[in-house]
Amino acid sequence: MGGKLILIVGTSSGSGKSTISTALCRIISNSGYRVAPFKAVNMSRNSVSLEDGSEIARAQWLQAIASGTEPEKEMNPVLLKPEKDGRSQVIIKGRSLGTFSLREYQNIVADTGRRAVSSSLENLLERYDVVVAEGAGSPSEINLRREDLSNSYILSEYDPYTILVADIERGGVFASILGTLELMANPASVKGVVINKMMGDEQILKPGIVEIERITGKKVLGVVPYYTDIYLPGEDSFDYERERIINRKVCVVKYPMMENYSDLDPFIIYGIGFTYVTGENKEAIEGCDLVILPGSKNVLEDVNYLRRSGLWERLKSAKKIVGICGGFQMLSERIEDPEMVQATLRSYEGLGLLKCKFTYRPDKTTRAVSYEIRNSHIACGREAGYEIHYGELSESGEEPLCLVDGKGEGAISHDGRVIGTNIHGILENPCFLKYVLGQETEERYWNSLNKNLDLLADLVRKNVDLSDLLTFLSSDK
């Protein structure tokens, strides 16, 4: 294995591992190295389909973009997509094995997952100069060490160049640094610490930094300030708890099993914003020009939520609705699930706003698509997106929204008010956004995405001492 391995671990979930990893992917790539991101096990409902139909976490997709390389299944060999009652869908090397209980999927991860992680990591190290691996949660979770393939396994088996990220926003930053180093496997691999999300004057940390360096023997490489002017796709639901920009004319229905949150990213990158709507503020729909029904990990559960919450009737009078993936299914007249792939019912009603019917089969659709929007209401040029879903459109009395491989995809009502599609990323399409919002976007999504990646890389480069890391990369060791 010729490549160098860097591992970014954190004192906790949400400490900023993904952020620092993404920044390093761009910084190291810009330094002339061939870089691949890696996360052994990611638990997230935010995923993307690749050209070969593989499904990986959106975070590793973004890190590949930051690295200037093509995303691939080896970059996230194990993906867990949480469902209800502690169950998760298990995806190994881009393909779903099905849904399992906590104990079942822990056993799968510890066995099949371990082999997938080692083969994927070694594959990347053979083909790239540098692999930037992101840990998961914290490496100090000693109760989970058997299943901890993202931290303990890599620390013990590969002895990577390790950086520890600590989140000062949570408080107790120095105690969390010390505790993590005391409990983690192979603490000697840690070459430095980054303190993340600092608000205010970092000078007040100086006495603590001097002391923690004395106690641990680890250098604090820098303090990264809390930022609000850089926006990149989040890793999971934690990153989408609140709206970044409020716009009460655009409403997103936030049901309990919502997934593929990154479909909302264009509303932030384009500066449009949105408002989350739940049963607690359902009256907000009356003032919305556009309502989004996003993806769902369990359509039946979320349909039942719409009924219980009172959102069901409110949605029927919305001015304009776009349903994506599971949201498209909710707009239909009926969903059939004869083999109970997802639901506990074999058949149930949707909102009935589109004259469509969906049928579930055990096979899951994951694919990248090239599409053209062509119907009597709107025409847009060719764009790229992707599909990740169970359930296929089995009947439709509506006009297709667009064309994929010469075949109709999605549906649009006769009055153009209700739209459904399985294509994730369609809201990145400026032509489509102009139709549903009535306003122009100034810049293409990909240009904005790369500008934000550059801003993040600049922020980390300015505030973190990377000289030792760059020396490690250029050495023969």
Residue owning tokens 């029904």: 293
3-class SS at 271?
coil
| 207, 177 contact by CB (below 8 A) | no
How far apart (Å, rounded) are the C-alpha atoms in residues 258 and 294? Answer: 7
325 is catalytic: yes
377 is catalytic: no
Amino acid at 433: L
| 35, 457 contact by CB (below 8 A) | no
CB-based contacts of 348: which residues, under 8 Å, 6+ apart? 300, 303, 334, 335, 337
The pair of three-digit structure tokens given for residue 404, joined into one six-digit string: 């994929």
Catalytic one among 325, 356, 380, 402?
325
φ/ψ bin of 291: left (φ > 0), alpha (ψ from -120 to 50), beta (otherwise): beta
Distance of CA 287 to the CA centre of its chain: 30
- Helix 58-67 to helix 17-30 angle (10° resolution) is 20
How do beta strands 334-336 and 365-373 pair? unpaired
How far apart (Å, rounded) are the C-alpha atoms in residues 73 and 96? Answer: 12
Catalytic one among 356, 380, 402, 424?
424
CB-based contacts of 324: which residues, under 8 Å, 6+ apart? 260, 263, 292, 293, 294, 295, 420, 421, 422, 423, 424, 426, 427
DSSP output for 100-132: E-HHHHHHHIIIIIHHHHHHHHHHHHHH-SEEE
CB-based contacts of 457: which residues, under 8 Å, 6+ apart? 23, 26, 27, 30, 66
How far apart (Å, rounded) are the C-alpha atoms in residues 340 and 390? Answer: 11
- What are the catalytic residues? 325, 424
